[in-house]
Chains A and B, each alone.
Chain A
Amino acid sequence: MIAIIDYDAGNLTSVARAVSHLGFSCVVTRDQKVIQRAERIIFPGVGAAGAAMMSLTRLGLDQSLEAAFETGIPILGICLGTQVILGHSEENDTPCMGIIPGEVRAFPGDLRTENGQRLKIPHMGWNRVHLKKPHPLLADIQETDEFYFVHGYYPVPADPKWVVGETDYGVSFASAMGKNNLFATQFHPEKSGRPGLSILRRFCVWDGTWEKGTC
């Protein structure tokens, strides 16, 4: 069973629909016991980091996630779920979980293209992910594939060894990260058509291993 973590952070039904569409069973839950027994965990989220961390700690789910990470359960972070996995977010100046050390920064408000056109914030729409290293969940992904993003803050992991893919939007940022049994994306695989669904499908059968011993 795949547990999709419910912590009052936005639209969780779309992740559940995508997983069901792929033929896997999942449950949207905030029950620590259910999460403890899960074979895999998806940690999505849309919203603000401050409110998200408050919900997570109130429900004790930050500890459930950390425990699951330590025991090697495959975990997929998505968007805000990915951001609160890092150590700190500039959004609401929020201390976060720190499973991947690093921080989450706001896009500068004055980003422009070389011909002077204003880059709108949030970064909303389709963009590429430049692969930095192979990862089993990205085995089907090609350089020209694009993914759906919607966010005003971006992850900056402390060590580049956790960066699996990068995306450019005025700045270059880590749009896919991996650490042992944890894989985390800034984009929404559940809303990214075929390439996004292929990542979800691979996650639903992933054993959590990746370059054992190197990270």
Chain B
Amino acid sequence: MGKRDMLSKRIIPCLDVRDGKTTKGIRFKENVDIGDPVDMARQYYETGADEIVFYDITASHEKRNIMIEVVRRVAETIFIPFSVGGGIRSVEDMRAVLLAGAEKVSVNSAAVRDPSVISKGAAAFGSQCIVLGMDILHVGEKPGIPSGYEIVIDGGRTPMGMDALQWARDGERLGAGEICLNAIDADGTREGYELTLTAMISEAVGIPVIASGGAGEPGHLVDVLTRGKADAALIASMVHYGTHTIPEIKDYLDRRGIKVRKTW
């Protein structure tokens, strides 16, 4: 089987949204607003993004309707899949986001607290809709954490004593259709993805794995899509500030033998 038999590796810009504005922080802290999420989504759609991820970091659950309105406007603007995560706690939260036009919802902290939210979501909307987002800290091997990677929640603040590899397997069994790995150590550093973690989890599950956290240059994507065995790579700072563009990144990957979607 040659390159033509392969799926294209997906390049996915990730927009953190707070109170309806795109924002960017380092290691989940020090956020600054950088633009309008709908305008940015349109720009990424027009320049070859394969999918877009919106992560709602609005602190208050009462302001969720602001995000729903953003989702509705995005759905009228771009015609590629997009997912929404952040603050999704229940099947009702999922339904609101999906009805507003998102393809997928991502659950994270809520699934750690109550894993049945994964199976309930998969039963209601299908596994293809449910992304399990995992925030992960490298802690080294210790009792209860045989893989050396631990699950943290609440934006990286609360360690849960749960092994990341085991949680990925559990998530697949519960009905998640995809896993998004957020490596907290690497997030916002632009020093490269967590390759060991990504390869370990991608080999352990039969569902697609998206790598997230640490992208700073196109070479980092080559690493995570080959050695890291990721099916897709999330990018943020490297495109949000105009340092790189999606066509340029895709061209770089293509020249190194990685199959990407080249016409849009």
Footprint of B on A, CB under 8 Å? 10-11, 13-14, 17-18, 21, 46-48, 109, 113-114, 117-118, 120-128, 142, 144-146, 148, 150, 168-170, 190-197
Contact = CB atoms under 8 A, between A and B. Distances in A.
A191 B103 contact: yes
Given A13-B75, A195-B264, 19 more contacts: A48-B126, A113-B1, A117-B229, A120-B207, A124-B7, A124-B128, A124-B178, A124-B208, A125-B7, A125-B208, A127-B8, A128-B4, A142-B263, A145-B263, A146-B8, A146-B261, A168-B5, A195-B263, A196-B79
B194 interface: no
Given A11-B103, A114-B1, A146-B8, A126 B261 contact: yes
Interface in B24-73: 45, 50
B11 to A, nearest CB: 10
B126 A46 contact: yes
B10 interface: yes
A196 B264 CA distance: 10
Contacts of A191: 79-81, 103
Main secondary structure on chain B at its contact with chain A?
Answer: loop
Contacts, number: 93
B170 interface: no
Contacts of A148: 80-81
B38 to A, nearest CB: 14
A14 B261 contact: no
A191 B80 CA distance: 4
A93 to B, nearest CB: 19
Most buried by A among B6, B75, B262: B6
Interface string B169-195: 000000001100000000000000000
B206 interface: yes
A122 B98 CA distance: 20
A121 B232 CA distance: 15
B218 interface: no
Contacts of B252: none
A13 B101 contact: yes
Contacts of B103: 11, 14, 191
A58 B126 CA distance: 21
A194 B48 CA distance: 10
B200 interface: no
B206 A192 contact: no
B7 A193 contact: no
B50 A125 contact: yes
28 contacts: A11-B98, A14-B103, A17-B75, A17-B76, A113-B1, A113-B6, A114-B1, A114-B2, A117-B229, A121-B207, A123-B7, A124-B128, A124-B208, A125-B50, A125-B232, A126-B261, A128-B4, A146-B8, A146-B261, A148-B80, A168-B5, A169-B7, A170-B1, A191-B80, A192-B79, A193-B80, A195-B264, A197-B79
